[in-house]
Amino acid sequence: MSAVKRIAMLLVVLIGVSIFSFTLSAVSTVDPAEAIARAQIANASPELIESIREEYQLDRPIVERYFSWLAGVLRGDFGTSFMTRNAVSAEIGRLLPKTLCLAGFALLLTVLLSLPIGACCARFHNKVADHIIRWLTVLGICIPVFWLGFLLLLQFAVKIPLFRVTPEPGIKGYILPAITLAIPSLCSAIRLFRASLLKEMSQDYIAYYRSRGLGRGRVLWTHAFRNALPPLITLFASQAGAMIAGSAIAESIFSIKGFGVFLIEAVIARDLPVISAAALVIAGIFVLLNLLAEITGRLLYPRIAAREATNA
């Protein structure tokens, strides 16, 4: 697929997400104007509700509102938050870096640990260590993230006070939240890399190297390791996006005021500009990460790209 077609498809995805998120939030059964008024005054009058509706242009047709919002997005203006009365782009610019830092730290842990552990599982296939790690990865995938976060907080902030219950400044404040986010992704990556390595170890070229007297460990680390990475590159891209989208749980547990918590508050408050902008930002991050993973895979493995081009 050419670069022009790929970019065109990405733009179609983003436009589709923008239409879906804006329409879904706009047709909600809860009146945003009423929700804003009730947040200010418990017994808001119909006149106040109507004035708020006019102020935020909620009385205009949904199609007209969408194109007006989209025109603002193209200028970098996502509108004004109903909750904070601040520009949504400013709020996202202030809170998104915290979430990106958290997700980046979690992804780094996933990458650094999944590769050697997955390789060791493949190296000692069907041995005791392999069975133990496989069962632990199943457990790590099944554990709910919120329960894992509370468990880490209880163990390392209450029983063993290595960390504070309240948010800590600097990188230390991201350690426990990053571990909470990383463990399910780490376990999935270990299992995928193990399976990918075992598949590579069954290939004919591996049998050729083994016939020349090379040991299983040397063949695995020298030849199979690199060829088993492509599925993991794609997985890391999707996991990075999922970490950003699902960071709200870890941020809530560890009291980090980030993009995820901001989105939850916006959903509760029916803050349409924030909800629409957040959906578009998250979709954009997913799209860019998958594009980056595809480009990386083609650069590292040109033979795969050539084979795909031939099949196309």
What integer pLDDT is reported at residue 135 of this predicted model? 95
**What is the chain's alpha carbon radius of gyration, rounded to the nearest angstrom?**
24
What integer pLDDT is reported at residue 45 of this predicted model? 77
Residue-range domain boundaries for the chain: 95-270
Rounded distance between C-alpha atoms, residue 305 and residue 311, angstroms: 10
What integer pLDDT is reported at residue 131 of this predicted model? 94
Helices (H) and strands (E) in the chain, counts: 16, 0
> What digits encode the pLDDT tens for the residues 41-74?
767 777 777 887 787 777 788 888 888 888 888 8
Rounded distance between C-alpha atoms, residue 25 and residue 38, angstroms: 18
What integer pLDDT is reported at residue 94 of this predicted model? 92
Architecture of domain 95-270: Orthogonal Bundle (1.10)
What integer pLDDT is reported at residue 203 of this predicted model? 87
Answer for the pair 245, 210: CB distance below 8 angstroms, yes or no: no
Looking at the DSSP bridge assignments, the partners of residue 87 are 80
> What digits encode the pLDDT tens for the residues 198-215?
999 888 888 888 888 888
**What contacts 296, CB < 8 A, 6 or more positions away?**
233
Residues of the chain with pLDDT under 50: none
What integer pLDDT is reported at residue 304 of this predicted model? 60
CB atoms closer than 10 angstroms to residue 296? 16
What integer pLDDT is reported at residue 3 of this predicted model? 61
